[in-house]
Amino acid sequence: MKEIIVPDIHEQFEKLNKLESRLLQADRVIFLGDWFDSFNEPQHIQTAWWLKKHIDIKGWEFLLGNHDCHYAFSNAGFICSGYSPKKKEDIANILTIEDWAKFKVFAYTHDKEFLLSHAGLRPETERFLAQENEALAAAYTGGFHDLWAAGRARGGYAKFGGPTWLDFNREFRPIDTQRQIVGHTSASAEIRRVRGAGKNGSTGNNYCIDTGFRHAAFYEDGTLEFLKLEDLK
């Protein structure tokens, strides 16, 4: 099975269009979130329409990032840098509540070798795996849940960030028996690795693939490869 894991896009619409033909050839595509909040020229409307067009493609899965949550949900506790009421209004005119309901917090590669989320888990936050539905229900009814909290490393109140906020460089620690692939922490143009536990007691790397949308991950027959978008034809 061919799977593509796409990290933080942040409205880089041209790169997304360049990757689209590759995405349509894959058996599964998992987007790690942070579609919105470009810190250059805003392209939130184009990005929202791209999502609207593709959100029902079979085999495509969409995860929430912290820069998506403040547009999907109404509680002020979700607001972070890049947000504006005008952008929220623009996006709400395109993406409905039913569209946002198709987003999740967690996914796995088909063989369960890798857990996928926007920012990742550490042993102290692994409990959130069992609380995904509870946290989503709270968010969609105007509430909040600790799963969504930012950690102290990112200016939040929690000791460690949840799976939309965990800082890979300062907070990430491997969890037992489950390797992870995450985005969120864009502090390097290179893929970052942390050695940790793997499936069935094996060991291997956990990866942060947020490189400013310079890479995507390709996973097939147990082989993980990172390709530069600029090299894709």
CATH number assigned to the domain comprising residue 168:
3.60.21.10
Residue with tokens 């470009």, as numbered in its chain: 38
What are the pLDDT digits (tens) for 79-123? 999 999 999 999 999 999 999 999 999 999 999 999 999 999 999
Number of domains in the chain: 1
Q: How confident is the model at residue 18 (pLDDT cuts 50, 70, 90)?
A: confident
Alpha-carbon span 115 to 108, nearest angstrom: 5
This prediction has a pTM of: 0.95
CA dist 115 → 157, 187, 207 (Å): 25, 22, 11
Please give the residue range of the domain that contains residue 97: 2-231
